[in-house]
Structure 1
Amino acid sequence: MFESAPATAAWQHRGARTGFEIAYFKVSEAGVQIDGCTTAVEDGQVWAVDYQIILDPQWHTRRATVATRRRGGWHTVELDSDGAGHWTVDGVPDTALAGCLDVDLEASAVTNAFPVHRLGLDLDATAEAPAVYVHAAGLTVTRLEQVYHRIDDDGPHQRFAYTAPQFDFTGTLIYDESGFVLDYPGIALRAH
């Protein structure tokens, strides 16, 4: 079990991109609301992504509004879920996302907390956690297959072997006592 979410958190992007992310958390009996912004330079492109994500009390993503600002203006995408794995993208049902309970923003380190909170894995347990993946450039929405395997804790910090086959990525994610990423190798490092 994790402690309560912090009021704020921040991450420094590193490796894949250079930039910064900040997030604000509002926890109530209705669930969790996260408002955040991330900016980066990646492959010579500059972008900013603003987001608001609503989670129910069990940490299922129920709604995400994501807006990107790039050269040429704004683009926004609205994602809605019934909490049972059925999604609409800008009001249109998307059956390719069936079974996903989480949203994962390419631009964000905060979204890797959702499956960890929702699953509550015991030591040495493994779970598949497919997610609705929102690409930073253009906000394209696709399905992301991912696997979390809880490995030995590092003192008070939980650790997970994380795999995202689509990106040929495997790494160890380290989480704080509130269940938010401290270290995401090659992606982000917690700054606050």
Structure 2
Amino acid sequence: MTFTPPPETAAWRHLGARTGFEVVYFRPTGRGGHRIEGCTTAVEDGMTWVVDYAIEVDRDWVTRRAEIRSRSVAGSRHTLLEGDGEGGWRIDGVPASRVDGCLDVDLESSAVTNAFPVHRMRLAAGDAADAPAAYVRAADLTVERLDQRYLRVAGDGPGQHYDYEAPVFGFACRLVYDGSGLVLDYPGLAVRAL
């Protein structure tokens, strides 16, 4: 399945697990990939935080670099993830075997990062695939492995529909994507605002 190119900008209203807003900008790179720059501000469990990010994906939507900054009452943090495109990672310059085999970065703070595996895998209706990701927590930017699974299903209405699972959280839902492969509805987390 081929998606249309992403728009110049997109936005999500975060609700349910947290209250907040995310804005993202897509910039094509000279190598056929994209640079995705965004910011999420939120209130969650009575705490406020801001996460700024710049993520580079190659032409196959494999994450190659993610620079992430966060701010909260606990202070400011920064981390840099660099992927070799084959599942090897360095976090702040140090090899990170705990996320070996992951091709995507998934930011806890973001709805846009669920676009990466869908673009990369290009599943046909009825097909499923595992998509482990280097998962970056919003509050402290710790990085851990997040096992995920996507099953493309025939859905009612426009767009593409995927049954999504993150077993470590006991979480499953149906994600709805637009023609450019961006989430329109992420139950319990976000809805597309633009």
Displacement, 1:155?
Answer: 3.7
Q: Is the 8 A contact 1:7 1:26 kept in 2?
A: yes
3-state secondary structure, aligned to 2:138: coil
Work out whether residues 5 and 27 of structure 1, in 8 Å CA contact, stay in contact via their aligned partners in 2: no
Q: TM-score, normalised by structure 1?
A: 0.98
Residue 6 of structure 2 is aligned to residue 5 of structure 1: yes
Write the distance in 1 (CA, Å) between the matches of 2:153 and 2:105: 23
Cα distance in 1, alignment partners of residues 29 and 145 from structure 2: 29
How far is 1:29 from its partner? 4.3
Larger deviation: 168-177 or 68-77?
68-77
Aligned partner of residue 188 in structure 2, secondary structure: coil
Structure 1 residue 83 displacement after superposition: 0.5
Query: Structure 2 residue aligned with 1:102, among 94, 101, 104?
Result: 104
| 1:23-62 mapped onto 2 (5 Å cutoff) | 23-30=24-31, 31-62=33-64
The answer (yes or no) to whether the contact 1:13–1:21 under 8 Å persists in 2 is yes
* C-alpha deviation, 1:21, in angstroms: 0.2
Tell me which residue corresponds to 2:71: 69
3-state SS, counterpart of residue 154 of structure 1: coil
The alignment of Structure 1 onto Structure 2 pairs a total of residues equal to 192
Please list, as runs of the form range in 1=range in 2, the aligned pairs for 1:104-183 lying within 5 A after superposition. Answer: 104-183=106-185
Identity of aligned residues (%): 56
* Counterpart Cα distance in 2 of 1:154 and 1:121: 18
What letter corresponds to residue 119 of structure 1 in structure 2? M
Mapped to 1, the partners of 2:187 and 2:155 lie a distance apart of 17
Contact 1:47 1:137 in 2 (8 A): yes
TM-score by length of 2: 0.97
Cα deviations across residues 71-129 of structure 1 (Å, max 9, x unaligned)?
Answer: 14310000000010000110000111110000000000000000000000000000000
Q: Which runs of 4+ in 1 moved over 6 A?
A: none
Could you tell me which runs of 5 or more consecutive residues in structure 1 were left unpaired when the two chains were aligned.
Answer: none
Paired residue type of 1:154? D
Match of 1:190 in 2: 192
RMSD over aligned CA atoms reads: 0.8
One-letter code aligned to 2:130: E
CA contact (8 A) 1:29 1:57 kept: no
Structure 2: 5+ residue runs without aligned partners? none
Secondary structure of 2:114 counterpart: helix
